[in-house]
A = this chain, B = another copy of it.
Amino acid sequence: MEFSALLTSAGINIALCILYLSLYSILRKQPHNFRVYFGRRLAEEKFREQVDYFSFERLLPTAGWLVKAYWCTEDEIRRVAGLDSVVFLRLFIFSIRIFSITTLICVFGVLPVNYNGQEMAHTRVPAESLNVFTIANLKEGSSKLWVHCTALYVITISACILLFQDSAERAYRKFVRVKLSAFDQNMRSSLNRCGLCGVQASSFELYRNKFVEAKKSDLTDPEVVEAQKDCPGAIVFFKTRYAAIVASQVLQSSNPMLWVTNLAPEPRDVYWSNLWIPYRQIWLRKIATLAASVFFMFVFIVPVAFVQSMMQLEQLKQMFPNLRGALKTSFCVRVVTGYLPSVVLLLSLYTVPPLMMRFSAIEGSISRSGRKTSACTKILIFNIWNVFFVNVLSGSVLNQLNVLTRPKDMPSMLAELVPKQATFFMTYVLTSGWFSLCSEILQVYNLVYNFFRKFICCYQDEPEYVYSFPYHTEVPKVLMFNVLGFTFSIMAPLILPFLLVYFCLGYLVYRNQILNVYYPKYEMGGKLWPIMHNTMVFSLVLTQIIALGVFTIKKAPISTGFTILLLIGTILFNEYCRQRFSRIFNSFSAQDFIELDREDEQSGRMREIHEHLLDAYCQSPPGSADEIPMEMIMEDPAQEASNSSQELCDTVQEVAGSIIQEHIEERHGSSSGRR
């Protein structure tokens, strides 16, 4: 592809973007679209629908929304949309910062070196092949490779500093403060399960009284044993958060599959239809979904290969002989080779998120946030493999698999192929990146649905459903562009300005959407940050590996040595971060919980919290007319104020232990030495 083709593509996309954004600024002002563009505000009922008077201004595109989105503070966003939005927007801030630095260095430092890499007569820039701007243009043994090596050092060190400083610890402190509602405790026993049909609301029963009586009298009461048998899971309440965290983090029984305890997800976050799954099935389910995901990942190579074949004009002519006429026009050629392939790829990628979400549900997570996090990881890996690797390692499917089995040849192979695919990824950023932002802000699907509902079907009532933010599709998308940015930074710096525009526009668009459209139904508690962190480190390592390959091919031993040093440093940095931060994202610390408990005690809120425990966990949304009464196994600590939390914890264990023991003896007819 020539530079002019790239400009054509960029031109089309800039025009489309301006069109879409103007359209948005007009459409959002129409009162009948408020349901589409101000879903969150309407859900919170702070935003009253204005009187539907007509003014000419409503038909003029304006940029006021951009200004509003930009000036909103982070605290306000956290208040209205939760910690996850803040984490998500921090990803954009990180990206904008690191790619500002990268763009500066690579466009003004690396790009001229690439362009003047070989002694050749340069034609006019627009007619220049894009390969001239990549590292492929440099001669073997070029003395200018130290520029690339230095750029790599600057990028890596900046990224590490930014990753370590703008995020993990601060996010965590907020995370604890926000999760004030996490005073509950979920204990899951996989001793029995009530069939394969999933648990209906009516299948829960209130065992409190039975257990409280049983504790004081006869633990071997057949009624209690029977009750336990029917119950694959239970939510147990503790008086303090500290007691709950102790019960969740301590290994309960010497068979770790018999009694599994986790902190309960917050009420709205519980994924009720997975609560029945016995723990002993979960590892098998995880392996099965992993296998299915991997299988799907490789099957997906077929559409990607089709996209690849569209890039080659000759192959295209062979496949569709009757298009030959049209393909003779230079403009058509540019559109077909520069624009269509990534649209096809984009459309076929739309099938991935629902499927991965399905896989993650089958996996057995008991919280919606867990399911979303798992789907997010799957989609991310899928994207990196199918968008990045398969496109780079173009060729037959067998060829691609072959690379996996020869890791040693990987760096040099990537080094040779990555610069060649720079063109494709530039257009990918333009179409997939910019275009996805536009369609995100326009909410095309909802707009059309709303239109048909209101004006064709003439429904007058407002639809009840408000969407929650689709982190599982948006996070992988943004991370994918980060991967592209890092890997292409020193290979083909021309991609960087387009990316920077994407991140800046994305920051504004998503701020606007978070503030106006999406309603956070549950808190994920910053669980996405480790995924982001790991992907960043992965991109850095991948970039360094590719650079290693380039330096080896171009015969620059000193640069190779320095890159190996940098690689080791990056891995050590990651290991340190893992040691330092990974545990706090998976569990809470006793210190924080004790502090929160004390605050509650001092403020006198304890009594109130205990009273609200009873109706906290409810399968239908609270406040709705047909509210189902609280039906689950629980120990209500407020009722037994004389027992310390320690004792309560003991009791739960004792009750359970005895019942399990009873059950074992019943089954095997043997009597073990335990009481």
Residues of A within 8 A of B (CB): 169, 172-173, 176, 242, 245-246, 249-257, 259, 283, 287, 405-408, 572, 575-576, 579-580, 583-584, 587-592, 594-595, 598, 644-646, 650, 653-654, 657, 674-675
Cα(A591)–Cα(B189), bound, Å: 14
Q: Are B408 and A250 neighbours in the complex by a CB distance under 8 Å?
A: no
**Contact (Cβ within 8 A) A584 B251:** yes
Stoichiometry (number of copies)? 2
Residue of B with least CB distance to A251: B589
Query: B250, B572, B580, B590: which contacts A287 (Cβ < 8 A)?
Result: B572
Complex CA gap A541/B138 in Å reads 47
- Chain B hits for A245, CB < 8 A: 250
Which residues of B sit under 8 angstroms from A256, Cβ to Cβ? 579-580, 583-584, 589
Asked whether A579 lies within 8 Å of B283 as measured between CB atoms, the reply is yes
Chain B residues, Cβ within 8 Å of A592: 254
Q: A172 and B250: CB pair below 8 A?
A: no
* Residues on B with beta carbons closer than 8 Å to the beta carbon of A657: 591
**Chain B residue with Cβ nearest A661:** B591
Neighbour of A254 across the interface among B257, B572, B584, B674, CB < 8 A: B584
Pairwise interchain contact A283-B644, C-beta atoms closer than 8 A: no
CB contacts (< 8 Å) of A646 on chain B: these are 644-646
22 A-B interface contacts by CB (under 8 A):
A169-B254, A246-B246, A249-B251, A251-B587, A251-B588, A251-B590, A253-B589, A253-B590, A256-B579, A256-B583, A256-B589, A259-B591, A283-B575, A283-B576, A287-B575, A405-B408, A406-B406, A407-B407, A591-B653, A595-B674, A595-B675, A646-B646
A176 interface neighbour in B252, B254, B406, Cβ under 8 Å: B254
User: Are the C-beta atoms of B254 and A250 separated by less than 8 Å?
Assistant: no
Q: Which 6 A-B pairs have the closest CB atoms?
A: A405-B408, A646-B646, A254-B589, A256-B583, A251-B589, A253-B591
A331 to chain B, nearest CB (A): 46
A597 to chain B: closest residue by CB: B650
B580 touches A255 (CB 8 A): yes
Q: How far is the CB of A108 from chain B (nearest CB, A)?
A: 37
A334 to chain B, nearest CB (A): 41
Residue of B nearest to A279 (CB): B579
| Cα-based distance from A592 to B407 in the complex (angstroms) | 47
Smallest CB-CB separation from A576: which chain B residue?
Answer: B283
Q: Looking across the interface, which residue of chain B has its beta carbon closest to that of A240?
A: B646
Given contacts A287-B572, A406-B405, A644-B646, contact A653 B594 (CB under 8 A): yes
With a CB–CB cut-off of 8 A, which chain B residues contact A169?
254-255
Contacts of A589 in B (CB 8 A): 251-254, 256
**Which of A572, A583, A588, A591 gathers the greatest number of chain B CB atoms within 10 Å?**
A591
- CB-CB under 8 A from A251, the residues of chain B are 249, 583-584, 587-590
Contacts of A590 in B (CB 8 A): 250-253, 653
Q: How far, in Å, is A388 (CB) from chain B's closest CB? A: 22
**Among the interface residues A251, A583, A584, A644, which one has the most CB atoms of the partner chain B within 10 A?**
A251
Which of chain B's residues has its CB closest to A173's CB? B254
| Chain B residue at smallest Cβ distance from A587 | B251
**Given A249-B249, A249-B250, A644-B644; 5 other pairs, CB 8 A cutoff:** A251-B589, A254-B592, A256-B579, A591-B653, A595-B675
Q: Is the CB of A591 within 8 A of B252?
A: yes
**For the complex, what is the distance from the CA of A173 to the CA of B590, rounded to whole Å?**
30
* A330 CB to nearest B CB, Å: 45
Contact A580 B254 (CB under 8 A): no
In the complex, chain B residues whose CB is within 8 Å of the CB of A257: 579-580
Provide the bound-state CA to CA distance between A271 and B283, in Å: 37
The residue in A249, A253, A646 that gathers the most chain B C-beta atoms within 10 A of its C-beta is A646
Considering the chains assembled together, what is the distance between the CA atoms of A646 and B674 in angstroms? 26
Determine the distance from Cα of A591 to Cα of B251 in the docked complex, in whole angstroms.
8
Least CB distance from A199 to B in Å reads 23
Taking CB atoms, residues of chain B closer than 8 Å to A572 are: 287
Q: How far is the CA of A456 from the CA of B114 in the complex (A)?
A: 81
